Structure 1
Amino acid sequence: MGYISRPALVKLRDYKYSGTDKSITSRLILTPYWSWLVTLVPKTVAPNTITLTGLSLVFMNILTLLYYDPLYLAEKDGASGPPNWMYWVWGVSLFLYQSLDAIDGKQARRTGMAGPLGEMFDHGCDAINTSLEVVLASRALNLARSRWTVSSQLAAVANFYLTTWEEYHTGTLYLGVFNGPTEGILLIVGIYFITAIYGTTVWDKDVFETLGLTKIKILTDNLPHYRFNEAFMAFGAVGVAFNVVTSYTNVYKHEKAQGRSVLLPIIRLLPLVISCSLNVLWLSYPTYNDSQIIHSSIFVPFLFAWGLQFAHQVGLMILAHVTSQPFPIFDAMWLWTGLLAADLNAEWLFDKPPFFQTTPERRALAVYATLLISIVSYGRFVYLVINDITEFLGIACFTVRKRDKEGHWEDAKKVDAQKKDL
């Protein structure tokens, strides 16, 4: 132990998960399926193993993307086009990820392994998947190297951050009637399947023309003419706006009922704003619409690094939640990202040329160095947190075991039964 303070570790014993799911799809369709699916999993399988298996399927999707389109060009920029079966695999894998992500909590209760480590592990995998799906879905929508992909990244991380921020303040994970883990994932699964059937270029078609609505003047004269992929991004923006309102409403009501400041939670959104602003600033050379990072082979490594930094931020927030600690504000990665962003944009910020990123090769070196630092930083965080929590609570991360009162590893249910007898 050492990363988490002793007083914070003690608070782990008081933590109780609280969640509310208002999704009709989840309650009427998916929950019966999930309840059946978990019965197929042996009770010797640890919940975190199920979660990690689901994330591994997404990693496999990323590997297929990098194999068939390593430059992330998409057909619109000259990619030869991966086989259609790849999108079928992506859709099935994402659906399985959702299924495994949904049953890990049920498995935890079946095996007596429910606790704060499971929630942290689950949220950590979800945070990583958030950015990975941006890369995959943008490829399926034939967007790839475009500012629309950046917009999708912003929308995805904002949605996830807001949900976690809301849980920190209210103590409850709220999932609305239409939420990301349920309907959002099913929507992306549908995108993969449609792309598998019709190809990526189907998303470049005009919505009104394709649906035969051009003769309805009231629509064509008053609504923007979007392509399908652009319309999907606009829908995502509406979703973010709705999530902002509902999340803050829940936090406002809770903080007011507790007699606490309703403005302080807004200040705690600054980490999201600062992180996103620094990354967008870095991308804005020479201009945001003509970014030399977006329109290059280092765009995907850049998104991966950003995603890991985001996962680290969310991990710190969840850790603070389960240990009843102060909200984490500062992130050391801001210094690194800020320096590189300022360096590349030094010409219009300081009227001086860049100090380091003077060539495409040096820009690539900066991005890959950032990716490496992000991997090491987040990997260290995950290792230390898992080690501290498992040692303190006497549990295993990937096996269904706990330590008995004598310090011996035993089956989790056996240890729980002994505690009840006492």
Structure 2
Amino acid sequence: MGYIPRHLLENLKAYKYRGTDKSLVTRYILNPFWTRFVELWPLWVAPNVITLTGLSIVFFNFLTLLYYDPLYLTEKEEFEGPPHWLYFTWGIGLFLYQTLDAIDGKQARRTGMAGPLGEMFDHGCDALNTTLGCVLAGRAMGLGRSWWTVTSQIATLCNFYLTTWEEYHTGVLFLGYFSGPVEGILMIVAIYLTTGFYGPRVWENKIWTVLGIDNISPFSKIPNLPLNKSFMVFAAAGLSINIFHSYLNVLQARKAGKGKSHSRYHPLVLLLPFVVSTAIQIAWLSHPGFNDSYIIQSASFLPFLLAWGLQFAHQVGRMILAHVTSAPFPAWDWIWIWSALAALDANFPRLFGISPIIQTNARNTSYVVWFTFAISLLAYARFVTLVIHDITNYLGIACFTVRKKDENGHWKNAQPDKTS
């Protein structure tokens, strides 16, 4: 038995990717570079191989964090973190990820492999990169294990969820004049390079002082936040704008008869799954705690963020699958259950005035967090494997080779799309 129902598999053949990117940086700088860069890749290289290569680079960056900054996984965290030269490699790696993530679609059109599988694979890798990027960027800005890093995680995941939610309702992947995949990534690359030159303590400098306007009204009356926390405020403002524009795009699609919802407010209700899933994680993080077992201040913080990211990838993966198969919006995800039970157990003292059943000490809390990470990893791996198996078998394509099946069921080489 497959993961995707048979009647939904039939909708895969009707799927066609539609995207809009209004970024001036993309139009005048990056896209000409991407167009030339993709021509360096042979036609026998499958687009999903390019996508996976980009994610592997970011994952390698993450492994270097663990290797050169082992205290990040212990109870004792150093502010300075890894050697400064490492941040330059993170910047180069993230730029390469952005480049490969941009040209995989071009390679798909060159090889005639464009389709729903590429859409699923691309978004799945992007979802994983979101959390890894939050961890690395938070370390580069000296945020460390703090609520500011949690805030960064929420803002980044929310932007990704919002984009996927909008694409589901409009049928178009819309990137505005300022978007996370373009300008947002370039800003993080700049953060890595800045930290490489000056170290993470540069982000402790006050923003108005750096700009030389701390004694000028009205700035002298506005809190003079450090640069890293100012960046979080900027991200929150950008998120608010993105929410507004995404909802306008959904409304316009509905009025034009192209949207999947005829109700004005029903799409807004489908933002609640992200709110609920985030509330579960916050409830677990903010439990009363005991001694030194508070998750944010302990070595459990990193596996907690990774488990959260994997659950989010599972959530948006099902949303993208619903988009390419024209299925109902997946408002509920069973993967939340374990985190919800863990959050409830940790908050027994606050809710009922009794001790937790399982998380009675720091060691048990650590076990629960790591077990949650393992469950989340296995669940997402299962989802990815089953979906790839269903789509490749039904459409007669391969995931990592440029091949298709002929009428007799034999593999053959795909022909380039000469119209791309």
TM, length-normalised to structure 1 = 0.95
CA distance in 2, matches of 1:217, 1:186: 32
Where in structure 2 are there 5+ consecutive unaligned residues? none
Alignment of 1:20-31 (within 5 A): 20-31=20-31
The one-letter code of the counterpart of 1:372 is A
The one-letter code of the counterpart of 2:270 is R
CA distance in 2, matches of 1:283, 1:363: 11
The one-letter code of the counterpart of 2:366 is A
Q: Residue 136 of structure 2 corresponds to which residue in structure 1? A: 136
Q: Residue 315 of structure 1 corresponds to which residue in structure 2? A: 317
Q: Residue 335 of structure 2 corresponds to which residue in structure 1? A: 333
CA distance in 2, matches of 1:30, 1:214: 36
The one-letter code of the counterpart of 1:24 is L
CA distance in 2, matches of 1:330, 1:71: 37
Task: Say which is worse superposed, 330-339 or 35-44, in terms of deviation.
Answer: 330-339
Tell me the matched-pair count. Answer: 412
Check if 1:366 corresponds to 2:365.
no
Check if 1:230 corresponds to 2:229.
yes
Check if 1:263 corresponds to 2:262.
no
Where in structure 1 are there 5+ consecutive unaligned residues? 418-422
Does structure 1 conserve the Cα–Cα contact (< 8 Å) formed by 2:131 and 2:153?
yes
CA distance in 1, matches of 2:4, 2:96: 33
Q: Give CA-to-partner distance per residue, 1:59-102, whole Å, 9 cap, x none.
A: 0011011112234289x953563111110000000000000000
TM, length-normalised to structure 2 = 0.95
CA distance in 2, matches of 1:12, 1:77: 48
Alignment of 1:157-306 (within 5 A): 157-221=157-221, 223-258=222-257, 260-286=262-288, 292-306=294-308
The one-letter code of the counterpart of 2:231 is F
What SS does the aligned partner of 1:213 have?
coil
What SS does the aligned partner of 2:70 have?
coil
What SS does the aligned partner of 1:20 have?
strand
Q: In angstroms, what is the RMSD of aligned CA positions?
A: 1.7
Does structure 2 conserve the Cα–Cα contact (< 8 Å) formed by 1:283 and 1:291?
no
Alignment of 1:384-403 (within 5 A): 384-403=386-405
The one-letter code of the counterpart of 1:349 is L
- Quickly say closer, same or farther: Cα 1:144–1:73, change in 2 above 3 A: farther
Q: Give CA-to-partner distance per residue, 1:35-78, whole Å, 9 cap, x none.
A: 0000000111000000000000000011011112234289x953
The percentage of aligned residue pairs carrying the same residue is 58
CA distance in 2, matches of 1:206, 1:215: 12
Does structure 1 conserve the Cα–Cα contact (< 8 Å) formed by 2:11 and 2:326?
yes
Q: Residue 345 of structure 2 corresponds to which residue in structure 1? A: 343
- Quickly say closer, same or farther: Cα 1:80–1:202, change in 2 above 3 A: closer
The one-letter code of the counterpart of 1:371 is F
- Quickly say closer, same or farther: Cα 1:371–1:77, change in 2 above 3 A: closer
Q: Give CA-to-partner distance per residue, 1:8-50, whole Å, 9 cap, x none.
A: 0000000011111000000010000000000000111000000
Q: Give CA-to-partner distance per residue, 1:194-236, whole Å, 9 cap, x none.
A: 0000000000111122332222132111x22110000000000
The one-letter code of the counterpart of 1:397 is C
CA distance in 2, matches of 1:97, 1:117: 19
CA distance in 1, matches of 2:4, 2:70: 39
Task: Say which is worse superposed, 99-108 or 268-277, in terms of deviation.
Answer: 268-277
The one-letter code of the counterpart of 2:252 is K
The one-letter code of the counterpart of 1:306 is W
Does structure 1 conserve the Cα–Cα contact (< 8 Å) formed by 2:11 and 2:324?
yes
What SS does the aligned partner of 1:78 have?
coil
What SS does the aligned partner of 2:20 have?
strand
Does structure 2 conserve the Cα–Cα contact (< 8 Å) formed by 1:402 and 1:411?
yes
CA distance in 2, matches of 1:251, 1:291: 44
CA distance in 2, matches of 1:291, 1:200: 26
The one-letter code of the counterpart of 1:97 is Y
Does structure 2 conserve the Cα–Cα contact (< 8 Å) formed by 1:15 and 1:323?
yes
Alignment of 1:7-26 (within 5 A): 7-26=7-26
Cα deviation for residue 141 of structure 1 reads 0.3
Q: Give CA-to-partner distance per residue, 1:223-275, whole Å, 9 cap, x none.
A: 22110000000000001101110011111222233381011111111210111
The one-letter code of the counterpart of 2:236 is A
Check if 1:91 corresponds to 2:91.
yes
The one-letter code of the counterpart of 1:129 is N
Does structure 2 conserve the Cα–Cα contact (< 8 Å) formed by 1:73 and 1:79?
no
Q: Give CA-to-partner distance per residue, 1:310-333, whole Å, 9 cap, x none.
A: 000110000000000000011112
CA distance in 2, matches of 1:104, 1:300: 30
